[in-house]
Amino acid sequence: MLVTDNISHLRTARWADPRATWGLVPTMGFLHEGHLALVRAAKTANDYVAVSIYVNPTQFAPTEDLSTYPRDLERDLALLRAAGVDLVFTPSNEMMYPAGFQTRVEVTEITRYLEGVSRPTHFAGVTLVVAKLFNIIQPTRAYFGQKDAQQVAVLRRMVQDLNFNLELVVCPIVREPDGLAMSSRNKYLAGAERQAALVLRRALDAAEAAVASGQTDAEAIRAEMRGLIAAEPLAKLDYVSIADAQTLVEVEEIAGERLVSLAVFIGRTRLIDNVIIHR
Amino acid sequence: MLVTDNISHLRTARWADPRATWGLVPTMGFLHEGHLALVRAAKTANDYVAVSIYVNPTQFAPTEDLSTYPRDLERDLALLRAAGVDLVFTPSNEMMYPAGFQTRVEVTEITRYLEGVSRPTHFAGVTLVVAKLFNIIQPTRAYFGQKDAQQVAVLRRMVQDLNFNLELVVCPIVREPDGLAMSSRNKYLAGAERQAALVLRRALDAAEAAVASGQTDAEAIRAEMRGLIAAEPLAKLDYVSIADAQTLVEVEEIAGERLVSLAVFIGRTRLIDNVIIHR
């Protein structure tokens, strides 16, 4: 397994056999089963697998948790080695954003909703770093988790609009046995917060059950979800959304493909979760 | 010579031999000797040469000459066939910017000066379409003319910041025998305007002569250039600039690498020209 922060070395490995297919799994490290499921999907479909580990500063607002974001490179590399990964790219901030850097890559509309309301600069950072990683590694396929549903929609738009020559593959959310969606930020949950965090999944379950029982009024479902969050003392709601799965615009009716998503603070930790509903 | 607007067909040809090198010459068509010099440079250094012909609407302001920009596809294709070009990409607006398109690629600082003052949206259109063309064709090398000096600086910045895996090659300005820089827009020059247009080159010659004779005060040289433009009745100055060749910031002293550039309206036709001075 080649571990490098050197783009020239990376490209030599990447293009040693120009007919080989490569899967890329971009990560911010502190890997969990969700990341490893992406790696396994990439292993199955490609000749080689590259993983990037980079806590990208441009996708954090000044008020967010950049400095405390959990890191454990040694453990990450052991996991990736065991998973049979071929190449790990571990760039520095100085390499990614050297003095004089002044280029932006932005998706302008679907970034305004959901996460974009409380994190207005977040997706510009994501699209910028992912565009760079795509150009550095030039993968055949790139793997992302459905956990970050809006990120997936934004990157799909970017790939299409900028004609990146790759396939974007989205893998299902991986959950703890009790239903909590895997996230590196789950590490922040202390004591009773871990149990309280299950309220996100309970709210999504309630939405699915309501639709299964014939409820088609989106606002009634949102109200029920808000009620469940309000009933959990350690939880503070950021948003509940039922939106068109493509445009991310809020809907009135459950019809076609809907993205049900929410963001909730559990103590000081902000968690997100979602489910796609078809009807 | 494959002429296509189909990205899938193009990629099949591009990647038939993945070890082959490809040169790309992006153009807006209505080809002149300047374009053909880029094609010849690309032929010399690469196994295959692709040319794109696309009058990109996003780099024109609503007040500019998008609708009247000269076009002659049949003549262009004959010239490219004779020059031994392998592939010509001729996309439509609907393919390049389909409904729902919403991605931006921008270089934020060096786009503010020179052309950016009177054309504030121009370079965002250029970087967007060139990023798309780079991803569509994935050339080994891409060729641009020094005539558009700021465009070259902006694209160099974009390639570096976004880690495009290609070499940007800049070729010298090609001129008519009397010194007028070749441009598709020269077609607009009617009657006495063609002769008046030589004032751009005279102003640059005067700047070079001043530096050769020991003048190091940039403002004195700008003043001399402005005087020459003012003396030409059909000319109206947009700007005269003597700037750092990398940052494009105006300088006080001639020292190191300086970009001397100007934009002048000859009648209703806006022309640009430039020279790099080392001292």
**Mean pLDDT of the region A198-206:** 98
Q: For residue A99, what pLDDT is reported?
A: 96
Residue written as tokens 């910028």?
A: A128
**Contact status, residue B254 vs residue B208, Cβ threshold 8 Å:** no
Quick: pLDDT tens for B146-159. 999 999 999 999 99
- How close, in Å, is residue A139 to chain B by CA atoms? 12
**Contact status, residue A165 vs residue B164, Cβ threshold 8 Å:** no
Q: Which residues of A touch B162 (CB under 8 A)?
A: 103, 105, 131-132, 135
Domains annotated for chain B, with CATH where assigned, are 2-171 (3.40.50.620), 184-278 (3.30.1300.10)
**Mean pLDDT of the region A160-187:** 97
Quick: pLDDT tens for A132-153. 999 999 999 999 999 999 999 9
Each of the 279 residues of chain B gets a pLDDT tens digit; together they read 999 999 999 999 999 999 999 999 999 999 999 999 999 999 999 999 999 999 999 999 999 999 999 999 999 999 999 999 999 999 999 999 999 999 999 999 999 999 999 999 999 999 999 999 999 999 999 999 999 999 999 999 999 999 999 999 999 999 999 999 999 999 999 999 999 999 999 999 999 999 999 999 999 999 999 999 999 999 999 999 999 998 999 999 999 999 999 999 999 999 999 999 998
Quick: pLDDT tens for A37-63. 999 999 999 999 999 999 999 999 999
Cα first-last separation, chain B: 45
Q: Which residues of B touch A157 (CB under 8 A)?
A: 100, 102-103
How many of the other CB atoms lie within 10 Å of CB of A223? 11
**Mean pLDDT of the region A163-187:** 97
Residue contact A161–B108, C-beta within 8 A: no
A94 touches chain B (CB under 8 A): no
Closest CA to A127 of A100, A149, A94, A153: A153
Backbone angles phi, psi at A49, to 5 degrees: -125, 130
A108 touches chain B (CB under 8 A): yes
In this complex, the residue of A105, A108, A163 whose CB is nearest that of residue B102 is A108
Q: Which residues of A touch B91 (CB under 8 A)?
A: none
Cα first-last separation, chain A: 45
Q: For residue A178, what pLDDT is reported?
A: 96
Residue in chain A nearest B131 by alpha carbon: A162
Please compute Rg for chain A using Cα positions: 19
Closest CA to B239 of B222, B217, B216: B222
Q: How confident is the model at residue A127 (pLDDT cuts 50, 70, 90)?
A: very high
Tokens in use for B254?
């001639």
User: Could you tell me which residues are beta bridge partners of residue A145?
Assistant: A171
Q: How far apart are CA B2 and CA B49, in angstroms?
A: 11
**For testing the chain A interface, which of B102, B123, B166 should be mutated: the one with the most A CBs within 10 Å?**
B102
Q: How far apart are CA A130 and CA A121, in angstroms?
A: 15
Strands across the sheet with B269-278, in order?
Answer: B235-244, B257-266, B269-278
**Contact status, residue B189 vs residue B234, Cβ threshold 8 Å:** no
Quote the strand ranges of chain B, DSSP E: 2-4, 22-27, 48-53, 87-89, 103-107, 141-145, 167-171, 235-244, 257-266, 269-278
**Mean pLDDT of the region A28-42:** 97
Residue in A9, A32, A35, A278 annotated catalytic: A35
Q: For residue A100, what pLDDT is reported?
A: 95
Q: How far apart are CA A144 and CA A157, in angstroms?
A: 14
Secondary structure in 3-state letters for chain A: CEEECCHHHHHHHHCCCCCCCEEEEEECCCCCHHHHHHHHHHHHHCCEEEEEECCCHHHCCCCCCCCCCCCCHHHHHHHHHHCCCCEEECCCHHHHCCCCCCEEEEECCCCCCCHHHHCCCHHHHHHHHHHHHHHHHCCCEEEEECCCHHHHHHHHHHHHHCCCCCEEEEECCCECCCCCECCHHHHHCCCHHHHHCCHHHHHHHHHHHHHHCCCCEHHHHHHHHHHHHHCCCCEEEEEEEEEECCCCCECCECCCEEEEEEEEEECCEEEEEEEEEEC
Q: How far apart are CA B190 and CA A13, in angstroms?
A: 56
Instruction: Tell me the CB-side half-sphere exposure of residue B55, using CA atoms within 13 A.
Output: 17
DSSP state of B116: H
Q: For residue B279, what pLDDT is reported?
A: 86
Ramachandran class of A234: left when φ > 0, alpha when ψ lies in -120 to 50, beta otherwise: alpha
How many of the other CB atoms lie within 10 Å of CB of A75? 12
**Contact status, residue B105 vs residue A164, Cβ threshold 8 Å:** no
**For testing the chain B interface, which of A14, A135, A140 should be mutated: the one with the most B CBs within 10 Å?**
A135
Tokens in use for B126?
């250029």
A132 touches chain B (CB under 8 A): yes
Q: Is the dihedral of CA A167, A172, A176, A180 positive or negative?
A: positive
**What torsion, rounded to 10 degrees, do the Cα atoms B158, B161, B164, B169 define?**
50
Tokens in use for A29?
């490290």
**Contact status, residue B267 vs residue B233, Cβ threshold 8 Å:** no
Which residues make Cβ contacts (< 8 Å) with residue B8, sequence separation at least 6? none
Q: For residue A279, what pLDDT is reported?
A: 86
Task: Report how far Cα A250 is from the mean position of its chain's Cα atoms.
Answer: 21
Strand bridging mode A235-244 / A257-266:
antiparallel
Which residues make Cβ contacts (< 8 Å) with residue B4, sequence separation at least 6? B10, B87, B88, B89, B90
**For testing the chain A interface, which of B104, B121, B137 should be mutated: the one with the most A CBs within 10 Å?**
B104
